[in-house]
Amino acid sequence: SQQGEEDPQALSIQEGENATMNCSYKTSINNLQWYRQNSGRGLVHLILIRSNEREKHSGRLRVTLDTSKKSSSLLITASRAADTASYFCATLEAGNMLTFGGGTRLMVKP
């Protein structure tokens, strides 16, 4: 079963625009992580936010976490065609494995 639900399932934007993806989850977590997957490839770890953090930045990425609403968002600023990929949130519960959502498929048009 999947812990998270991503919204939207698909997103198409123009290069230079910002992309926002949302993730909701169900249980208490240690941290929430975002991964990227290019078509037919493995997942690449992007950014992690701990349960006691509210916002984190890494380059063009900004992640927020609202534990009261059990939700997170990933913002990619100034998007590039190379950002085209699927993006997954994943939650880590105490001592358990990562549980992934269904993903958002992002297309950035040049």
Partner 1 sequence: DTGVSQNPRHKITKRGQNVTFRCDPISEHNRLYWYRQTLGQGPEFLTYFQNEAQLEKSRLLSDRFSAERPKGSFSTLEIQRTEQGDSAMYLCASSLGTGFYGYTFGSGTRLTVV
Binding site for partner 1 (CB under 8 A): 1-2, 4, 30-31, 33, 35, 40-45, 48, 88, 92, 95-103
CB of 78 to partner 1, least distance (A): 24
Closest CA to 18 of 77, 61, 60: 77
Q: Residue 14 or residue 51: which is nearer to partner 1 going by CB?
A: 51
Q: Kindly tell me which of 59 and 95 has the beta carbon lying closer to partner 1.
A: 95
Minimum distance of partner 1 from residue 16's CB (angstroms): 27
**Rounded CA gap, 56 and 50, in Å?**
9
DSSP 41-72: S-EEEEEEEETT-SEEEETTEEEEEETTTTEE
